Amino acid sequence: MVNVVLISHTPDPERTIAAAARVSASPVSAVELLEKLTPDRVDRLIRRLLSSGHLSVFEHVSFTFAIEGISRVTSHQLVRHRLASYTQQSQRYVSLKEFNYITPATISDKPEWGDKYHEMVRAAHDLYLKMLDAGIPAEDARYVLPNAAETRLVMTMNARELIHACSLRLCLRAQWEIVELFEHIKAEVEKVAPRLGAELKPKCYRLGYCDEVQSCGIFPTRAELADKGERGK
């Protein structure tokens, strides 16, 4: 089961963003601006920055998460977000004698396929252990391990990239495991920066339409909107 813990973050992240935004048009320092920023002013300024697309100041704030209980399938998707830092448990240096793995619900819900799935994963792990016993290095024996293998990592991402990543990964058409991961990430951010956490949502909420070929149903696609507009003329 996925587990996400926010282990570090920029202190007072929302006020930091607001102060950084004010510096560009202020004769005083960021320190002085921080002292004058009330919660209401911070909230209004962040709303204005988001609506105008002035997102560079969000890069001054970062969050570091400890992530456990995800598969290698999902970690491979996660690291495609390149404006972040990752440190992942190594299958080269860690011998996985205790082996945990992820089973999709679509497989576990079908016992006949679930049995075959677990049999295959256990067979792969048994072969891995026999290779280790035969003196084959873990870095080579790991080649037989499936993508279902659980992994753990530490991820650091700035607020601008978090908004972007969530806009894609919280989409209901994204792969189920990475949606679950980013739901946990969003919940952790909301604990320390609720205003910022509220912006971690699928991009359709900001666009007002779905820009995919097929919508999940929350918003119509751009083509559907255009067709509706034509029929309304």
> Which positions are catalytic?
169
Contacts of 59 (CB under 8 A, 6+ apart): 158, 159, 160, 161
Structural element, H or E, at residue 3:
strand 3-9
Q: Which residue has the tokens 């089961």?
A: 1
* DSSP bridge pairs for 63: 9, 157
Structure tokens at 45: 């300024």
List Cβ neighbours of 176 (8 Å cut-off, separation of 6 or more): 104, 105
Q: Return the amino acid letter for 91.
A: Q
